[in-house]
Amino acid sequence: MDVRVEGLVKRYGRVVALDGITIGFPSGGMTAILGPSGCGKTTLLRALAGFNPVDGGRIVFGAEDVTGLPPQARGTAMVFQQYALWPHMSVFDNVAYGLRLRKVPAAEVRARVEEVLHLVEIGQIAGVMQRRPGELSGGQQQRVALARALVVEPRVLLMDEPLSNLDAKVRQRLRAEVRRLQKRVGITTIYVTHDQEEALAIADTVILMNAGRVVQAGSPQDIYFRPENAFAAEFLGVSNQLAGTAEAGSLSVGAQRLPYTGPVRGSATLLFKATDATVIPDDLTTESGQALLRGTLEERLFLGSGYRHYVRIEGESVMVDGTEPVEAGPVTVRVPVEKLKIYAMASPEPVTDPARSTRTL
């Protein structure tokens, strides 16, 4: 069942939560909606479930326009952030709820509940079924919530930050399991998260949202390696940002010049990931294919897997990760040219800012 939204608009008073969103969710795929809090991703998910009526646009499941349908008639099933399991019912009754509403015979209810609990790998099914959700661990509760949604064989499975309340270890494991499970059942799944790592790991398609709009949609690799603008690049990874000015043939960052052949002219934003750069002791030799920026190493943190260096370049602090510690003092930050993203700055810098205007060549 492929899902499409066309020109979807949702307002809360004067706040525009969804600003004319048009996007498709491929049938049988796992699509992650990624974005910072308040970007409209949960609003979009709740609109798909039918909890919040929209102010404009259409929601289409397959060939059916469901925009006006109440949540009961949409055939979606949602896994909530706080699980939303019913504390007064046993695990069995929680999972059986949807089946009983559909007047499934008792024997079949039992069989299907056991089957789905087996599918979500809850372990010791017989014992768990009689317990109340409150007696289970967070991870087990989320498995029950997933089972409750899957047992009714929904047309679309909606997941609203389902793993965000779990501790890091459980989250990592469930992430892999959710993905495997989704591939196995093949239900069109839409997964909302603010965690870029989770979105990249779990989804076939990632939709990046900001301020009620879709910023970029594509495969996780596309989004990660080929961000289309500064917001996408910034959001997807520990990124460093430097202000510069681009002209034909060169790019200036403060007093430093880099060779540049791209299309951007005027005020520009330079972005690179902390993991893509390396710090080398101050070295003025140029290397082809490498952008070199001089700066001062101010601080170094040991992260376990390596060291994070804080280097001040032309007044701005950037982070550079490395496996070897480098001593404080003048250094050069080396970034492979293809890893250095350069975007035209959306709004020009205010010329009244003296700190910035002095750096403009």
Which position has the token pair 């109340």? 132
Q: Where does this chain touch another protein (CB under 8 A) — which range of 98-106, 134-142, 325-333, 353-361?
A: 98-106
Q: Where does this chain touch another protein (CB under 8 A) — which range of 21-29, 96-104, 259-267, 293-301?
A: 96-104
Alpha-carbon distance of 353 to 361, in angstroms, equals: 14
Residue 336 makes contact with another protein by CB under 8 A = no
Number of residues lying near another protein (CB under 8 A): 22
Q: Where does this chain touch another protein (CB under 8 A) — which range of 83-91, 106-114, 124-132, 204-212?
A: 83-91
**Is residue 257 a contact partner of residue 251, using CB atoms and an 8 Å limit?**
yes
Q: Which is nearer to another protein, 89 or 319 (CB)?
A: 89
Tokens of 168: 């890091």
Return the residue of 3, 77, 91, 270 that touches another protein, per CB under 8 A.
77
User: In the beta sheet, which residues pair with residue 15?
Assistant: 12
Kindly report the CA angle at 95 between 93 and 96, in degrees rounded to 5? 60
Return the residue of 17, 34, 59, 78 that touches another protein, per CB under 8 A.
78
Tokens of 46: 């709740």
- Least Å distance, CB 22 to another protein, is 25
Residue 37 makes contact with another protein by CB under 8 A = no
Residue 310 makes contact with another protein by CB under 8 A = no
**Phi then psi for 175, rounded to 5 degrees?**
-55, -50
Q: Which is nearer to another protein, 128 or 145 (CB)?
A: 145
DSSP, collapsed to helix, strand or coil, labels residue 141 as helix
Return the residue of 56, 68, 101, 183 that touches another protein, per CB under 8 A.
101
Tokens of 151: 């047992």
Return the residue of 31, 76, 245, 252 that touches another protein, per CB under 8 A.
76
**Is residue 301 a contact partner of residue 308, using CB atoms and an 8 Å limit?**
yes
The footprint of another protein (CB under 8 A) covers 49, 51, 70-72, 76-78, 80, 82, 84-88, 97-98, 101-102, 148-149, 152
